[in-house]
Chain A
Amino acid sequence: MTGRARARARGRPRGQEAAPPSVGAVSVKFQISAGFQEMSLGDRGGRRRDFHDLGVNTRQAIEHVRESKTGSSGAMIRLSTNYFRLTSRPQWALYQYHVDYNPQMEARRLRSALLFQHEELIGRTHAFDGTILFLPKKLGNKVTEVFSRTRNGEDVKLTITLTNELPPTSPTCLQFYNIIFRRLLKIMNLQQIGRNYYNPSDPISIPNHRLMVWPGFTTSILQYEKSIMLCTDVSHKVLRSETVLDFMYNLYNQVEEQRFRDICTKELIGLIVLTKYNNKTYRVDDIDWDANPKCTFRKADGSEISYIDYYKMQYNQDITDLNQPVLVSQPRRKRGSLMPGPAVLIPELCYLTGLTEKMRNDFNMMKDLSVHTRLTPEQRQREVGRLIDYIQKDDSVQRELRDWGLSFDSNLLSFTGRVVQAEKIHQAGRVFDYNPHFADWSKETRGAPLINAKPLDNWLLIYTRRNYDVANALLQNLFKVTPSMGIRMNKAVMIEVDDRTEAYLRVLQQNITSDTNIVVCLLSSSRKDKYDAIKKYLCTDCPIPSQCVTARTLSKPQSIMAIATKIALQMNCKMGGELWSVEIPLKQLMVVGIDCYHDTVSGKRSIAGFVANLNQGMTRWFSRCVLQDRGQELVDGLKACLQTALRDWFKWNKYLPSRVMVYRDGVGDGQLKTLVNYEVPQLLDCLRSVGKDYNPRLTVIVVKKRISTRFFFQSGGRPQNPPPGTVVDVEVTRPEWYDFFIVSQAVKSGCVAPTHYNVIYDSSGLKPDHVQRLTYKLCHMYYNWSGVIRVPAPCQYAHKLAFLVGQSIHKEPNLLLSDRLYYL
């Protein structure tokens, strides 16, 4: 008997919030209380995604860090962080009971009512989902039998059996804390959107861009190194106060009619929309231009109904535009054992959320937005403190916590970190120190010769008539800045071109010879299609380095020289030149960087960039990428990349690396297990397949940029950003991992974000201190930025490559380019 039939059979129905109309199967889910359902699913493992990668215990397999995973070098620094300790009474435990009814009672309301007739036995504080009962105290007996009487006089025997006594650190308890904490957030009237909670009553409105920003929090309670803690950070939800239909009309007024559908599809697919009538979010996977709100669909009971009537009847929502297309969203998750059909959504009833790629590239919009969302360390600390204050002051929240015997520390966790020393920048025999506070050496190294300068003997400069002056200015300034770098430069072949994509391509075809070093294209606007076409041609059909410059960037006379310097450096890297290096004490070391780009527009492809050094100084890199269609395993492509990288390494060095160190970026929350169980063994396999006697040491480090952890350095009574080079490997790390945080970059405004490194496999035997130092050194080696960056350079290179391929080229670039940083 299905849940619905049961509900029908009873006098009182079990309410169901109607699901959005979906084509095909509609399964009716029997709702257990949301919280527990989550919990029991989590217990069974699998169905619910484990965003915190619980239960992946990699440290125990790495012998040399079982005792200690902490480094030692650097100066001590007193830090605080956005973590609050969760404390429980001594000897605290959560008692899990199973409740049986004889005769069987199926209505949960009745089951609850029968159980709570014995409140004097079980107490006021309990959590019960109809079967499983959680109590903060232990009952007198392991098995307790009690009798209840229904209102019509039926006697029911309840058997309450203790099934588990959960210590504060058990995984079930952690989930339980999170559920209780979510209850608290709801009590505080915060709205859940996705995984986070927001306060809708004080929105920040940015009407210029029709944006609405809700301040809120991301929270999670986890077991950290020494204690269970709440990690909470300020989060901002960007919502749009326009519906998808408004957006479509606006766009329609801005573009030519024949391009409208195409552009609209590109803009909307992949976006998350929020429905007006319920609190659900959907990802737009397709737009059905042939359908409209007058179309009908089949309801669960088999009857046909039009979308107009459905929304009118169900939610009293009037659809005014009867000719709008409909949005299609594919379900991500199974509902029970059924895979529901795609959900059909009406643009007029959906709000846009988040930012499109186009908006992200809109400098003004991001500026307006960052005024509100970029918080200084002081502001951030205050906001985080406000949440904890609220928890401490709200009576009902406190009561709930007290009843469970739990409480939160009211102060931010503080501890000691280390700041490792700044590196020395080596450049063609000269050594530079940089100001460790700014972590930037563009001033120090200005005008100094490069390690390896590639000559510009034969190169093209392509421009439109309108930009003739700008082209000349660029040329003159390059002549000024290149000599001191050691770059030999002839005058460019100057070619004027019509401002059309085809014209650019024709010029390229006609003028590139086998001697051409590089092509510079001066573009009159940042129109993406022209850029894409040029890059595609020069990365695949005619593999030659290219540099595109938007004319506008050169328009200000006072900054043109600085920009010409940057362009010269960038061009040099693209041709295989080398700029600077830092000292890398480890020999025969191959460092690999991997990052992924998920192409949401053209067919859900993923692209992985793979970058590995070719020389000891880490100044030359091998780059390849993997294009992976949906359903394919990424790792097969990565294996092929690693094989070619080793082959090229051998060509360059006449020996193979004895150590391989992989920095793996682009790993989503909850994907760690797959990485450990599948990707690492495949990499090992690949290394083994090289030769019988070849047995290099492998280290695999997962790099994570998007984390909630923030560190504050208390200085002069005010919280500041910790200096670059700050390493944290205590307190906020996880006991089951070999992990650490590094703050490598300096930021001018806002709060610096540390990067989390998790060593998931390590046969190197290297001390943690060495791994940390090496990682920090690698953050100095990204040639597009004369300063320290957030991730090791190979990760950033891999990111750049994957982004270029995913955004512009859409196929694998020519391998002839693979020994150069052509994608910078």
Chain B
Amino acid sequence: MDKNVQEERFTEMIKFTPPLYKQRYQFIKDLVWKYKPKKVADLGCADCTLLWMLKFCSCIEVLAGLDICENVMKEKMHRLSPLPGDYLQPAERSLTVTLHHGSVAHKDPCMLGFDLITCIELIEHLEEPELEKFPEVVFGFMAPAMVVISTPNSEFNPLLPGVTPFRHPDHKFEWNRAEFQSWALNIARSYDYSVEFTGVGPPPTGMEEVGFCTQIGVFIRKYSQTKSLFNKKLLRYKSVIMMGFFYVFLYVVKVFKAVYPSLKDEKYLQIAVVSEVVFTAQVIKRNLLDHLHSEHEEYSDGPVEIKSKSQHSENCVSEELAVEKCMEPSVSGNVVYIPLTKIFSFPKVNQLCGTFEKLYKLIADKVTLSSDGSAMVVDIEQEYEEEEN
């Protein structure tokens, strides 16, 4: 029978909403929400869809993907690059995304130090020898705080008539719940993890005994890995490389790296602060001038407004010292003085800089400051032209 027809029947009979693959990804997203891991790696990341979804999770600072097929990974990897918007308003958190081409059966130091490692529909694609090495690599070597493994539940297969023997031609096996669970429990025992079983894709009513379409094991490390242990491990592998065992690199090669702009980077922080400060200053200046202007309109009309305005303001700021001490901006001649304390009081500026000293440091060479450095100086002349042109 034609394969497509079989599949069509399959989808007619059992239809998951949202589709099963989305449910699996959502499951991971929910876990990330709950546990807020900072470093997440996806083994068998394929076309990077899960990674792409995870990059929006603001708790994550390091994302990594590993796949054996470089072409599939490369196809859409550029969607993991920062977007124009990420540069326009850099985020608070830092984020680095890397992709590696290689096998899950090899220990590579680039896979060390993760909080969460996901293996979505991965193990059933592994050949016997790879599957054997897999627990030692993931649980023994990488040893993240949490591992999620999903795989088809073969008990569900009779409900999918087109599936003979497996759901995908590349699958090497499909396990029933007992097989998966004994494999998982065995691993958990050997590597000091706890494991809980769940799944996505619930069975239709009346068929509950077959279990979820996709079975999932969530492993949580019982011991806490100390930094020294981690470092020791890293050192050991680094020394292996230094001793000339370049074979490691033959197996795992970095194919992509993207560093997201972040406010943690001084360069972007400065751009953000200076923009905010200059813009805020413009708003203050405009309001101030509008205010003076409207006061003035009442009793004078004519093109002399600028001259009289500055006279007017000079009168009220006769003592410069007093002005700069206070929080209020003031006009003097052709410039407006805006105290930095006033600028610092703006919520966005305050939030970006944290401390007044930081604010001063970031803007000192980027904007004009008064001679004693307590206020920002903004030209009026420019504003006048701006309005008239």
Residues in A lying within 8 Å of B, measured CB to CB: 1, 4-17, 33, 104, 106, 109-110, 112-113, 116, 150-152, 154, 186, 189, 191, 193, 200-201, 203, 205, 207-208, 210, 212, 214, 239-241, 274-279, 301-303, 314-317, 351, 361-365, 466, 525-526, 552, 555
Instruction: Give the distance to chain A from B368, nearest Cβ to Cβ, in Å.
Output: 12
- Given A112-B71, A210-B275, A241-B88: A466 and B10 within 8 A (CB)? no
Bound form: Cα–Cα A193–B81 in Å: 13
Q: Which residue of B lies closest to A151 (CB)?
A: B170
Q: Are A364 and B382 neighbours in the complex by a CB distance under 8 Å? A: yes
Q: Are A200 and B82 neighbours in the complex by a CB distance under 8 Å? A: yes
Q: Are B17 and A351 neighbours in the complex by a CB distance under 8 Å? A: no
Q: Are A8 and B20 neighbours in the complex by a CB distance under 8 Å? A: yes
Chain A residues, Cβ within 8 Å of B347: none
The range of chain B's interface size is 35 or more
Q: Are B84 and A239 neighbours in the complex by a CB distance under 8 Å? A: yes
Instruction: Give the distance to chain A from B302, nearest Cβ to Cβ, in Å.
Output: 6
Question: Residue B72 at the A interface, CB < 8 A?
Answer: yes
30 contacts between A and B (CB under 8 A): A1-B7, A4-B19, A8-B11, A8-B19, A9-B7, A9-B10, A10-B168, A11-B124, A11-B152, A12-B121, A12-B168, A13-B19, A33-B75, A106-B4, A116-B71, A150-B169, A151-B170, A191-B83, A201-B87, A205-B271, A207-B276, A208-B278, A214-B87, A239-B88, A240-B88, A276-B85, A279-B84, A303-B17, A316-B58, A552-B388
Chain B residues, Cβ within 8 Å of A6: 4, 7
Bound form: Cα–Cα A303–B48 in Å: 26
Bound form: Cα–Cα A151–B68 in Å: 14
Q: Are A316 and B168 neighbours in the complex by a CB distance under 8 Å? A: no
Chain A residues, Cβ within 8 Å of B254: none
Question: Residue B166 at the A interface, CB < 8 A?
Answer: yes
* Cβ-closest 6 pairs across A and B: A15-B49, A13-B21, A207-B278, A11-B168, A363-B389, A316-B56
Q: Are B386 and A364 neighbours in the complex by a CB distance under 8 Å? A: yes
Q: Are B169 and A154 neighbours in the complex by a CB distance under 8 Å? A: yes
Q: Are A7 and B168 neighbours in the complex by a CB distance under 8 Å? A: no
User: Which one of A11, A201, A241 contacts B167 once the chains associate, using CB atoms below 8 Å?
Assistant: A11
Question: Residue B360 at the A interface, CB < 8 A?
Answer: no
Q: Are A152 and B279 neighbours in the complex by a CB distance under 8 Å? A: no
- Given A4-B19, A276-B83: A207 and B274 within 8 A (CB)? yes
Instruction: Give the distance to chain A from B266, nearest Cβ to Cβ, in Å.
Output: 14
Q: Are B19 and A150 neighbours in the complex by a CB distance under 8 Å? A: no
Q: Which residue of A lies closest to B125 (CB)?
A: A151
Bound form: Cα–Cα A14–B47 in Å: 8
Bound form: Cα–Cα A227–B237 in Å: 53
Chain A residues, Cβ within 8 Å of B127: 151
Instruction: Give the distance to chain A from B2, nearest Cβ to Cβ, in Å.
Output: 9
Bound form: Cα–Cα A193–B16 in Å: 37
Chain B residues, Cβ within 8 Å of A207: 274-279
Q: Are A10 and B88 neighbours in the complex by a CB distance under 8 Å? A: no
Which residues of B in the span 167-203 have a Cβ within 8 Å of any Cβ on A? 167-172
Chain B residues, Cβ within 8 Å of A555: 303
Q: Are A110 and B170 neighbours in the complex by a CB distance under 8 Å? A: yes
Q: Which residue of B lies closest to A276 (CB)?
A: B85
Instruction: Give the distance to chain B from A113, nearest Cβ to Cβ, in Å.
Output: 7
Q: Are A364 and B389 neighbours in the complex by a CB distance under 8 Å? A: yes
Q: Are B72 and A112 neighbours in the complex by a CB distance under 8 Å? A: yes
Q: Are B22 and A13 neighbours in the complex by a CB distance under 8 Å? A: yes
Bound form: Cα–Cα A606–B61 in Å: 50
Question: Residue B241 at the A interface, CB < 8 A?
Answer: no
Q: Are B81 and A191 neighbours in the complex by a CB distance under 8 Å? A: yes
Which residues of B in the span 189-246 have a Cβ within 8 Å of any Cβ on A? none
Q: Which residue of A lies closest to B127 (CB)?
A: A151
Chain A residues, Cβ within 8 Å of B76: 15
Q: Which residue of B lies closest to A301 (CB)?
A: B17
Question: Residue B162 at the A interface, CB < 8 A?
Answer: yes
Q: Which residue of A lies closest to B10 (CB)?
A: A9
Q: Are B11 and A5 neighbours in the complex by a CB distance under 8 Å? A: yes
Question: Residue B78 at the A interface, CB < 8 A?
Answer: yes
Bound form: Cα–Cα A303–B16 in Å: 13
Chain B residues, Cβ within 8 Å of A154: 169
Which residues of B in the span 106-149 have a Cβ within 8 Å of any Cβ on A? 121, 124, 127
Bound form: Cα–Cα A7–B47 in Å: 13
Q: Are A109 and B89 neighbours in the complex by a CB distance under 8 Å? A: no
- Given A210-B275, A316-B56: A152 and B169 within 8 A (CB)? yes
Chain A residues, Cβ within 8 Å of B170: 11, 110, 150-152
Q: Are B279 and A151 neighbours in the complex by a CB distance under 8 Å? A: no
Chain B residues, Cβ within 8 Å of A364: 382, 385-386, 389
Q: Which residue of A lies closest to B280 (CB)?
A: A207
Bound form: Cα–Cα A318–B69 in Å: 35
Question: Residue B282 at the A interface, CB < 8 A?
Answer: yes
Bound form: Cα–Cα A314–B152 in Å: 25
Q: Are A203 and B87 neighbours in the complex by a CB distance under 8 Å? A: yes
Instruction: Give the distance to chain B from A462, nearest Cβ to Cβ, in Å.
Output: 18
Q: Are A361 and B389 neighbours in the complex by a CB distance under 8 Å? A: yes
Instruction: Give the distance to chain B from A78, nearest Cβ to Cβ, in Å.
Output: 40
Instruction: Give the distance to chain B from A561, nearest Cβ to Cβ, in Å.
Output: 20
Question: Residue B79 at the A interface, CB < 8 A?
Answer: yes
Chain B residues, Cβ within 8 Å of A193: 84
Chain B residues, Cβ within 8 Å of A276: 83, 85, 89
Bound form: Cα–Cα A317–B57 in Å: 9
Chain A residues, Cβ within 8 Å of B386: 362-365
Q: Are B169 and A301 neighbours in the complex by a CB distance under 8 Å? A: no
A-B contacts besides A191-B84, A241-B275, 16 pairs, CB < 8 Å? A5-B11, A8-B21, A11-B167, A13-B19, A33-B75, A109-B71, A207-B277, A208-B279, A210-B279, A276-B85, A279-B83, A301-B18, A301-B19, A314-B56, A364-B382, A526-B389
Q: Are B8 and A5 neighbours in the complex by a CB distance under 8 Å? A: yes
Q: Are A277 and B56 neighbours in the complex by a CB distance under 8 Å? A: yes
Q: Which residue of B lies closest to A154 (CB)?
A: B169
Question: Residue B27 at the A interface, CB < 8 A?
Answer: no
Chain B residues, Cβ within 8 Å of A151: 127, 169-170, 172
Chain A residues, Cβ within 8 Å of B11: 1, 5, 8-9
